Amino acid sequence: MNLINSILVKFLSYLPKWIVKPFAAPYVAGVSVDDTVKTVKALNEKGFLTTVDILGEHVQSPEESFKIRDEYINLYDRIKGLDANISLKPTHLGMEIDPSLAENNLLNILKKAKENNNFMRIDMENSPYTDATIRIYKKCLGEYDKVGMVLQSYLKRTAQDIINLDSDKFNCRICKGIYREEEEIAYYDKEIIREQFFNDVKAILTGKGYVAIATHDISLINKIENWIVENKIPLDRFEFQVLYGVPMGNKLQQLLDKGFKVRNYVPFGEAWFDYSIRRLKENPNIMWYVLGNMFKK
Protein backbone atom coordinates (compact mmCIF):
# COMPACT_ATOMS: atom_id res chain seq x y z
CA MET A 1 0.00 0.00 0.00
CA ASN A 2 2.84 2.38 0.90
CA LEU A 3 4.48 1.88 -2.48
CA ILE A 4 1.16 2.42 -4.30
CA ASN A 5 0.54 5.60 -2.23
CA SER A 6 4.00 6.97 -3.01
CA ILE A 7 3.58 6.29 -6.73
CA LEU A 8 0.17 8.00 -6.68
CA VAL A 9 1.58 11.11 -4.95
CA LYS A 10 4.42 11.29 -7.50
CA PHE A 11 1.85 10.99 -10.27
CA LEU A 12 -0.26 13.78 -8.68
CA SER A 13 2.70 16.17 -8.74
CA TYR A 14 2.72 16.00 -12.58
CA LEU A 15 -1.02 16.64 -13.01
CA PRO A 16 -2.65 20.02 -13.70
CA LYS A 17 -3.34 22.08 -10.59
CA TRP A 18 -7.14 21.85 -10.94
CA ILE A 19 -6.98 18.07 -10.56
CA VAL A 20 -4.68 18.28 -7.52
CA LYS A 21 -6.73 21.01 -5.82
CA PRO A 22 -9.20 18.71 -3.99
CA PHE A 23 -6.25 16.78 -2.54
CA ALA A 24 -4.57 20.02 -1.45
CA ALA A 25 -7.72 21.46 0.09
CA PRO A 26 -7.35 19.84 3.54
CA TYR A 27 -3.90 21.42 4.04
CA VAL A 28 -4.23 25.01 2.91
CA ALA A 29 -6.77 27.72 3.64
CA GLY A 30 -6.80 28.74 -0.02
CA VAL A 31 -5.06 31.27 -2.22
CA SER A 32 -6.47 34.55 -0.92
CA VAL A 33 -6.58 36.38 2.42
CA ASP A 34 -10.39 36.18 2.24
CA ASP A 35 -10.23 32.35 2.07
CA THR A 36 -7.88 32.39 5.04
CA VAL A 37 -10.01 34.68 7.17
CA LYS A 38 -12.95 32.31 6.56
CA THR A 39 -10.88 29.28 7.61
CA VAL A 40 -9.56 31.06 10.70
CA LYS A 41 -13.08 32.07 11.76
CA ALA A 42 -14.30 28.48 11.37
CA LEU A 43 -11.36 27.17 13.44
CA ASN A 44 -11.89 29.84 16.10
CA GLU A 45 -15.56 28.86 16.34
CA LYS A 46 -14.45 25.30 17.11
CA GLY A 47 -12.19 26.58 19.90
CA PHE A 48 -8.84 26.54 18.07
CA LEU A 49 -6.29 29.34 18.02
CA THR A 50 -4.46 29.87 14.74
CA THR A 51 -1.20 31.09 13.30
CA VAL A 52 -1.29 32.17 9.66
CA ASP A 53 1.54 31.77 7.17
CA ILE A 54 1.92 33.05 3.62
CA LEU A 55 3.32 30.11 1.67
CA GLY A 56 6.69 30.54 0.03
CA GLU A 57 10.40 30.73 0.82
CA HIS A 58 13.78 31.72 -0.66
CA VAL A 59 12.83 34.92 -2.48
CA GLN A 60 15.53 35.91 -4.96
CA SER A 61 15.29 39.73 -5.01
CA PRO A 62 14.88 42.53 -2.45
CA GLU A 63 11.76 43.70 -4.35
CA GLU A 64 10.12 40.30 -3.86
CA SER A 65 10.97 40.43 -0.15
CA PHE A 66 9.38 43.90 0.16
CA LYS A 67 6.21 42.59 -1.50
CA ILE A 68 6.00 39.75 1.05
CA ARG A 69 6.79 42.20 3.90
CA ASP A 70 3.85 44.38 2.82
CA GLU A 71 1.56 41.38 2.47
CA TYR A 72 2.36 40.39 6.07
CA ILE A 73 1.83 43.95 7.29
CA ASN A 74 -1.62 44.03 5.63
CA LEU A 75 -2.39 40.57 6.98
CA TYR A 76 -2.12 41.86 10.57
CA ASP A 77 -5.01 44.23 9.82
CA ARG A 78 -7.06 41.50 8.15
CA ILE A 79 -6.81 39.17 11.18
CA LYS A 80 -7.76 41.88 13.70
CA GLY A 81 -10.38 40.57 16.11
CA LEU A 82 -9.61 36.92 15.33
CA ASP A 83 -7.71 34.45 17.50
CA ALA A 84 -4.84 34.51 15.04
CA ASN A 85 -1.21 35.52 14.93
CA ILE A 86 1.45 35.20 12.22
CA SER A 87 4.31 32.80 11.49
CA LEU A 88 6.88 33.66 8.83
CA LYS A 89 10.00 32.25 7.23
CA PRO A 90 13.20 34.35 7.15
CA THR A 91 14.13 33.25 3.60
CA HIS A 92 10.71 34.45 2.43
CA LEU A 93 11.80 37.88 3.65
CA GLY A 94 15.23 37.92 2.07
CA MET A 95 17.50 35.93 4.42
CA GLU A 96 19.18 34.07 1.54
CA ILE A 97 20.06 37.36 -0.17
CA ASP A 98 21.27 39.19 2.94
CA PRO A 99 20.43 38.60 6.62
CA SER A 100 20.20 42.36 7.22
CA LEU A 101 17.49 42.60 4.53
CA ALA A 102 15.48 39.90 6.35
CA GLU A 103 16.13 41.62 9.68
CA ASN A 104 14.79 44.98 8.42
CA ASN A 105 11.74 43.35 6.88
CA LEU A 106 11.02 41.40 10.07
CA LEU A 107 11.45 44.51 12.22
CA ASN A 108 8.97 46.36 10.00
CA ILE A 109 6.43 43.56 10.26
CA LEU A 110 7.00 43.44 14.03
CA LYS A 111 6.24 47.16 14.26
CA LYS A 112 2.82 46.39 12.80
CA ALA A 113 2.36 43.44 15.18
CA LYS A 114 3.10 45.82 18.05
CA GLU A 115 0.68 48.45 16.72
CA ASN A 116 -2.05 45.77 16.60
CA ASN A 117 -0.99 44.21 19.94
CA ASN A 118 -0.47 40.90 18.16
CA PHE A 119 2.27 38.27 18.16
CA MET A 120 4.84 37.26 15.51
CA ARG A 121 6.65 33.92 15.29
CA ILE A 122 9.80 33.42 13.23
CA ASP A 123 9.86 29.87 11.80
CA MET A 124 13.16 28.01 11.73
CA GLU A 125 14.56 26.87 8.39
CA ASN A 126 17.64 24.75 7.66
CA SER A 127 20.87 24.93 9.61
CA PRO A 128 22.77 27.53 7.50
CA TYR A 129 20.19 30.02 8.82
CA THR A 130 19.98 28.95 12.47
CA ASP A 131 22.48 31.43 13.95
CA ALA A 132 21.21 34.37 11.89
CA THR A 133 17.61 33.53 12.80
CA ILE A 134 18.44 33.45 16.51
CA ARG A 135 20.29 36.77 16.16
CA ILE A 136 17.30 38.38 14.43
CA TYR A 137 14.93 36.93 17.04
CA LYS A 138 17.01 38.53 19.83
CA LYS A 139 17.00 41.84 17.97
CA CYS A 140 13.21 41.65 17.61
CA LEU A 141 12.85 40.78 21.30
CA GLY A 142 14.71 44.00 22.11
CA GLU A 143 11.94 45.92 20.26
CA TYR A 144 8.80 44.08 21.36
CA ASP A 145 8.30 41.05 23.57
CA LYS A 146 5.38 39.41 21.74
CA VAL A 147 7.74 37.63 19.39
CA GLY A 148 8.68 33.97 19.28
CA MET A 149 11.00 31.61 17.46
CA VAL A 150 11.35 27.90 16.73
CA LEU A 151 13.93 25.29 17.69
CA GLN A 152 14.25 21.84 16.13
CA SER A 153 14.79 18.78 18.32
CA TYR A 154 16.74 16.91 15.64
CA LEU A 155 19.59 19.44 15.91
CA LYS A 156 22.27 18.47 18.42
CA ARG A 157 22.76 22.13 19.38
CA THR A 158 19.16 22.70 20.51
CA ALA A 159 19.53 21.73 24.18
CA GLN A 160 22.31 24.33 24.53
CA ASP A 161 20.31 26.95 22.60
CA ILE A 162 17.46 26.52 25.08
CA ILE A 163 19.84 27.10 27.99
CA ASN A 164 21.29 30.19 26.28
CA LEU A 165 17.89 31.67 25.42
CA ASP A 166 16.04 30.94 28.66
CA SER A 167 14.19 33.97 30.03
CA ASP A 168 10.63 34.89 30.98
CA LYS A 169 10.34 36.49 27.50
CA PHE A 170 11.47 33.34 25.69
CA ASN A 171 8.60 31.99 23.55
CA CYS A 172 9.67 28.97 21.56
CA ARG A 173 7.94 26.46 19.32
CA ILE A 174 9.57 23.06 19.61
CA CYS A 175 9.26 20.81 16.54
CA LYS A 176 11.19 17.76 15.38
CA GLY A 177 12.59 19.56 12.30
CA ILE A 178 11.74 19.06 8.66
CA TYR A 179 14.94 19.69 6.65
CA ARG A 180 17.67 17.29 5.57
CA GLU A 181 20.71 17.92 7.77
CA GLU A 182 24.18 16.35 8.06
CA GLU A 183 24.73 13.58 10.62
CA GLU A 184 27.44 15.64 12.40
CA ILE A 185 24.86 18.17 13.50
CA ALA A 186 21.57 16.28 13.57
CA TYR A 187 20.06 13.16 15.11
CA TYR A 188 18.58 10.72 12.60
CA ASP A 189 17.16 8.08 14.92
CA LYS A 190 13.41 8.70 15.34
CA GLU A 191 13.35 7.51 18.94
CA ILE A 192 16.26 9.79 19.87
CA ILE A 193 14.51 12.75 18.22
CA ARG A 194 11.34 11.99 20.20
CA GLU A 195 13.36 11.83 23.43
CA GLN A 196 15.10 15.11 22.57
CA PHE A 197 11.72 16.72 21.84
CA PHE A 198 10.41 15.63 25.25
CA ASN A 199 13.57 16.91 26.94
CA ASP A 200 13.44 20.24 25.06
CA VAL A 201 9.84 20.84 26.12
CA LYS A 202 10.71 19.96 29.74
CA ALA A 203 13.78 22.21 29.64
CA ILE A 204 11.70 25.23 28.59
CA LEU A 205 8.99 24.49 31.14
CA THR A 206 11.43 23.96 34.00
CA GLY A 207 13.08 27.19 32.90
CA LYS A 208 11.21 30.47 32.57
CA GLY A 209 9.93 30.32 28.99
CA TYR A 210 6.71 29.56 27.11
CA VAL A 211 6.59 26.57 24.78
CA ALA A 212 4.49 25.74 21.72
CA ILE A 213 4.51 21.95 21.43
CA ALA A 214 4.30 21.36 17.67
CA THR A 215 3.84 17.72 16.73
CA HIS A 216 1.27 15.28 15.31
CA ASP A 217 2.93 12.37 17.13
CA ILE A 218 0.06 11.37 19.39
CA SER A 219 2.04 9.14 21.77
CA LEU A 220 4.58 11.95 22.22
CA ILE A 221 1.75 14.40 22.92
CA ASN A 222 0.32 11.96 25.50
CA LYS A 223 3.69 11.62 27.21
CA ILE A 224 4.16 15.40 27.39
CA GLU A 225 0.57 15.93 28.51
CA ASN A 226 1.08 13.47 31.41
CA TRP A 227 4.29 15.21 32.45
CA ILE A 228 2.58 18.61 32.32
CA VAL A 229 -0.28 17.39 34.51
CA GLU A 230 2.01 15.60 36.98
CA ASN A 231 4.17 18.69 37.30
CA LYS A 232 1.20 21.06 37.56
CA ILE A 233 2.51 23.31 34.78
CA PRO A 234 0.24 26.38 34.54
CA LEU A 235 -1.90 26.65 31.40
CA ASP A 236 -0.32 29.99 30.47
CA ARG A 237 3.11 28.39 29.96
CA PHE A 238 2.39 26.26 26.88
CA GLU A 239 0.16 25.44 23.92
CA PHE A 240 -0.11 22.58 21.45
CA GLN A 241 0.31 23.27 17.73
CA VAL A 242 -0.52 21.26 14.61
CA LEU A 243 -0.45 21.88 10.88
CA TYR A 244 -3.93 22.58 9.52
CA GLY A 245 -5.47 19.49 7.97
CA VAL A 246 -3.18 16.78 9.35
CA PRO A 247 -5.50 14.01 10.62
CA MET A 248 -5.36 13.70 14.43
CA GLY A 249 -8.45 11.57 15.19
CA ASN A 250 -10.19 13.01 18.25
CA LYS A 251 -6.92 14.00 19.98
CA LEU A 252 -7.28 17.75 19.37
CA GLN A 253 -10.82 17.80 20.71
CA GLN A 254 -9.62 15.91 23.81
CA LEU A 255 -6.92 18.51 24.38
CA LEU A 256 -9.47 21.33 24.03
CA ASP A 257 -11.86 19.54 26.39
CA LYS A 258 -9.10 19.44 29.02
CA GLY A 259 -8.73 23.22 28.75
CA PHE A 260 -5.43 23.17 26.82
CA LYS A 261 -4.74 25.70 24.08
CA VAL A 262 -4.44 24.20 20.58
CA ARG A 263 -3.23 26.30 17.66
CA ASN A 264 -3.57 25.37 13.99
CA TYR A 265 -0.82 26.54 11.64
CA VAL A 266 -2.81 27.75 8.63
CA PRO A 267 -0.86 28.32 5.41
CA PHE A 268 -2.27 30.02 2.33
CA GLY A 269 -1.20 31.68 -0.89
CA GLU A 270 -0.15 31.20 -4.47
CA ALA A 271 2.50 28.62 -3.51
CA TRP A 272 -0.15 26.11 -2.32
CA PHE A 273 0.70 23.49 -4.95
CA ASP A 274 4.26 22.63 -3.86
CA TYR A 275 3.35 22.82 -0.18
CA SER A 276 0.43 20.42 -0.63
CA ILE A 277 2.47 17.94 -2.65
CA ARG A 278 5.05 17.94 0.18
CA ARG A 279 2.25 17.30 2.72
CA LEU A 280 0.84 14.45 0.60
CA LYS A 281 4.30 12.90 0.30
CA GLU A 282 4.52 13.03 4.09
CA ASN A 283 1.17 11.34 4.53
CA PRO A 284 -0.22 9.74 1.35
CA ASN A 285 -3.16 8.30 3.32
CA ILE A 286 -4.72 11.77 3.00
CA MET A 287 -5.53 10.91 -0.61
CA TRP A 288 -7.83 8.12 0.51
CA TYR A 289 -9.65 10.40 2.98
CA VAL A 290 -10.22 12.93 0.19
CA LEU A 291 -11.38 10.29 -2.29
CA GLY A 292 -13.67 8.81 0.39
CA ASN A 293 -15.23 12.22 1.04
CA MET A 294 -15.69 12.86 -2.69
CA PHE A 295 -17.62 9.61 -3.06
CA LYS A 296 -19.72 10.31 0.06
CA LYS A 297 -20.73 13.62 -1.53
Query: Among 216, 223, 251, 261, which residue interacts with ligand FAD (rule: CB under 6 A)?
Result: 216
Residue with Cβ nearer ligand FAD (62 or 261): 261
Give catalytic status of residue 180 as yes or no: no
The span of 5-13, 93-101, 127-135, 173-181 binding ligand FAD (CB under 6 A) equals 173-181
Q: How many residues bind ligand FAD (CB under 6 A)?
A: 22
- 290 is an interface residue for ligand FAD by CB under 6 A: no
SS (H, E, C) the chain: CHHHHHHHHHHHCCCCHHHHHHHHCCCCCCCCHHHHHHHHHHHHHCCCEEEEEECCCCCCCHHHHHHHHHHHHHHHHHCCCCCEEEEECHHHHCCCCCHHHHHHHHHHHHHHHHHCCCCEEECCCCHHHHHHHHHHHHHHHHHCCCEEEEEECCECCHHHHHHHHCCCCCEEEEECCCCCCCCCCECCCHHHHHHHHHHHHHHHHHCCCEEEEECCCHHHHHHHHHHHHHCCCCHHHEEEEEECCCCCCCHHHHHHHCCCCEEEEEEECCCHHHHHHHHHHHCCHHHHHHHHHHHHC
Query: Among 86, 147, 150, 211, which residue interacts with ligand FAD (rule: CB under 6 A)?
Result: 150
Rounded least distance, CB 177 to ligand FAD, Å: 4
Rg (CA), the chain: 19
Residue with Cβ nearer ligand FAD (76 or 129): 129
- 123 is an interface residue for ligand FAD by CB under 6 A: yes
Going residue by residue from 16 to 55, which x/- string records binding to ligand FAD, judged by CB under 6 A? ----------------------------------------
Give catalytic status of residue 173 as yes or no: yes
Residue with Cβ nearer ligand FAD (103 or 239): 239
Rounded least distance, CB 23 to ligand FAD, Å: 12
Query: Among 283, 287, 289, 290, which residue interacts with ligand FAD (rule: CB under 6 A)?
Result: 283
- 279 is an interface residue for ligand FAD by CB under 6 A: yes
Query: Among 66, 179, 227, 260, which residue interacts with ligand FAD (rule: CB under 6 A)?
Result: 179
Residues engaged in binding ligand FAD (CB under 6 A): 123-124, 150, 152, 173, 175-179, 214-217, 241-243, 246, 265, 279, 282-283
